[in-house]
Structure 1
Amino acid sequence: MDDKFIITTIVTIALAVIGYLAKYANDINIANRKDKLERINRQLKEFYGPLLSLMSSSNASWIEFRNKYRSNIISYFDKNNPPTEEEKEIWRNWMKTIFIPINEKAYEIIIKNSDLIIGNEFPACFKDFCAHVETYRPILKKWNENDFTEHTALLNYPIEIIEYIEGGYREIKLEQNKLIKMSCS
């Protein structure tokens, strides 16, 4: 065998191995990007998207509620200026028909899909929100039994949850758009 044949054979084999390794690395990269995009799509579809819709509508309803009822009082249940019986009834009606149903849906999304939360920690605002929902359940039970001695949960609604969800949604949408652009190029 001559040297030219050996060199040609070695170069051919080396190029084939390099080509195979490059394709293998590219296939892994594509699979990883696909897996990441699938997770992001799930986060948007099953967690942040529905939560953002629910919390945004709840917040808009709350603003309208407070603009219409006791708008001159900072807290609806101000100890120095308590609501009338009629205002308490209005509160119960809005809570039972709007806020509690929305909060229960959001609670279920958080509990069932907490694996889709960004990061490694369960955010404090989600803990507080879940506790708020849970501490309203005994009050709602009393209302259903015509006991109106209590009107508020033991824990206040964590208003920072809206900002957290909006931020998470934005972050994931940016990442989704970035991955989609990478897939197209």
Structure 2
Amino acid sequence: MDTNERIWAALRANGLPSASQRDADTLGQGWSARREAFLMPTNARIRDLIIEHADLLREADFPAPLRDFCAHVASCEALLAESEEGGAGVGKRPATHIRHPGSDFVQYVCLSFAQLKGEQQRLLSAQSW
């Protein structure tokens, strides 16, 4: 996940339009190439890991930040497939149908990981060798 956050920060620092100005027209082909080459492969892998290991989640229900992230990735995949099939061209479609959950997702993942590592350390410390 850190990889995508770093790429995203670099794209914003190098002229990616603000969220309110972002659509297929303002992003252009350069955005599509970056999304397909850098962001989507990692996003798809993160989504797959979430789904494959959902049984390890602490919550009884699937957490909203994870659900929103998975929906965002599916939305992007649908738009990419549409583009590959010669569907709506640039300027006639949104950058995505479902927005990335942003900081809610990042915070959830970071907090959950920290809690998991804390629990792991507690269990290892309590274990008698």
Q: By percentage of residues, which structure has more helix?
A: 1
Aligned to 1:57: 3
The answer to whether 1:137 aligns with 2:81 is: no
- What TM-score comes out, normalization by structure 2 length? 0.85
Which one has a bigger Cα radius of gyration? 1
User: In structure 1, how many angstroms separate the alpha carbons of the residues matched to 2:94 and 2:37?
Assistant: 15
The answer to whether 1:152 aligns with 2:98 is: no
Aligned to 2:105: 161
Runs (4+) off by over 6 Å: none
Amino acid at match of 2:107: E
Displacement after TM superposition at 1:65 (Å) = 0.8
Displacement after TM superposition at 1:175 (Å) = 0.8
SS of the aligned residue for 1:153 comes to coil
Aligned to 2:13: 67
User: In structure 1, how many angstroms separate the alpha carbons of the residues matched to 2:76 and 2:14?
Assistant: 23
Displacement after TM superposition at 1:143 (Å) = 2.3
Aligned positions, number:
124
Gaps in structure 1 of 5+ consecutive residues = 1-54
Gaps in structure 2 of 5+ consecutive residues = none
